[in-house]
């Protein structure tokens, strides 16, 4: 795969990721019935630690049933559309940036692919939790590990993408800054305050920077890669 093709495919996957993320907003009733502590409704569900927190998030009928159906729809959209889109986007970004740093590029691809796999495992766990009311604490314990591992790998992957971008042209170096910031900020809030909106917002800025770089590389790879 040549540089131009890699960047074009990355740009297409990036646009698909953007469209998929907007798709969550079109799911009816995807509004928490209880407190989310600052997180969006989907992230709030991912971060529940026990049945009591789950019940608090879902509140009382009839809101709880509508929210449950919305979360089921969001989980299937995540698994079938959003995760494949963003995994393809990020992995192709690492592939396109790897040029003279093949080991780092392959390592970044592996980390980002692993993050997507953990995301899919998370979805399987959520589909078991979403009937609302399972007493098996083991499910919530598994969710705790899987969700935090996923977000940690995404943050580390963004830092690796920033290192790859820093090896390129000035345009690529400019992209490395928001990628690095996105990875560091997301990791900071993951460890200190995972419900904070910036835990997810930081990822979005890094991904938008990569999409902009992919658009530039799709036009002319030499504007991204050093000669």
Q: What is the pLDDT of residues 49-96, one digit of tens each?
A: 998 999 999 999 899 999 999 999 999 999 999 999 999 999 999 999
Q: What is the pLDDT of residue 132?
A: 58
Parent domain of 93: 3-223
Average pLDDT over residues 194-209: 95
**Mean pLDDT, residues 109-126 taken together:** 97
DSSP per-residue string spanning the chain = --HHHHHHHHHHHHHHHHHHHHHHTTSTT-S-SS--TTS-HHHHHHT--SHHHHHHHH-STTHHHHHHHHHHHHHHHIIIIIHHHHHHHHHHHHHHH-TT-HHHHHHHHHHHHHHHHHHHHHHHHHHHHTTS----HHHHHHHHHHHHHHHHHHHHHHHHHHHHHHTS-HHHHHHHHHHHHHHHHHHHHHHH-TTSTHHHHHHHHHHHHHHHHHHHHHH-GGGTS--
Backbone φ and ψ for 225, nearest 5 degrees, come out as -100, 135
**Do 138 and 155 contact (CB within 8 A), yes or no?**
no
State how many domains the chain has. 1
Residue 134 has pLDDT above 70, yes or no: no
Question: pLDDT averaged over the chain?
Answer: 93
The pTM of this model reads 0.94
User: Are 99 and 124 contacting, i.e. CB atoms less than 8 angstroms apart?
Assistant: no
Residue 2, pLDDT > 70, answer no
User: Which pLDDT score is estimated for 67?
Assistant: 95
Percentage of residues in the chain having pLDDT higher than 90: 86
Q: What is the pLDDT at residue 98? A: 87
pLDDT digits (tens, 9 = 90+) for 10-53: 999 999 999 999 999 999 999 999 999 999 999 999 999 998 99
């Amino acid at each position: 795969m040549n540089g131009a093709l890699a960047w074009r495919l990355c740009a297409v996957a990036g646009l698909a990721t953007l469209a998929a993320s907007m798709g969550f907003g079109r799911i009816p009733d995807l509004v928490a019935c209880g407190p989310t502590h600052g997180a969006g409704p989907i992230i709030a569900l991912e971060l529940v630690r026990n049945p009591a927190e789950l019940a608090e998030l879902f509140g009382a009928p009839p809101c709880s049933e509508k929210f449950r159906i919305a979360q089921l729809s969001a989980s299937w959209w995540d698994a079938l559309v959003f995760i494949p889109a963003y995994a393809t986007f990020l992995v192709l970004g690492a592939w396109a940036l790897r040029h003279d740093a093949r080991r780092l590029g392959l390592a970044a691809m592996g980390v980002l692919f692993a993050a997507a796999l953990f995301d899919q495992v998370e979805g399987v766990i959520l589909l078991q939790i979403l009937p609302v009311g399972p007493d098996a604490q083991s499910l919530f314990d598994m969710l705790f590990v899987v969700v935090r591992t996923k977000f940690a790998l995404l943050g580390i992957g963004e830092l690796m993408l920033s290192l790859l971008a820093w090896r390129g042209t000035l345009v690529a170096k400019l992209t490395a800054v928001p990628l690095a910031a996105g990875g560091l900020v997301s990791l900071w809030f993951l460890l200190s305050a995972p419900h904070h909106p910036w835990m997810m917002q930081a990822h979005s800025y890094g991904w938008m920077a990569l999409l902009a770089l992919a658009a530039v590389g799709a036009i002319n790879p030499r504007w991204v890669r050093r000669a």
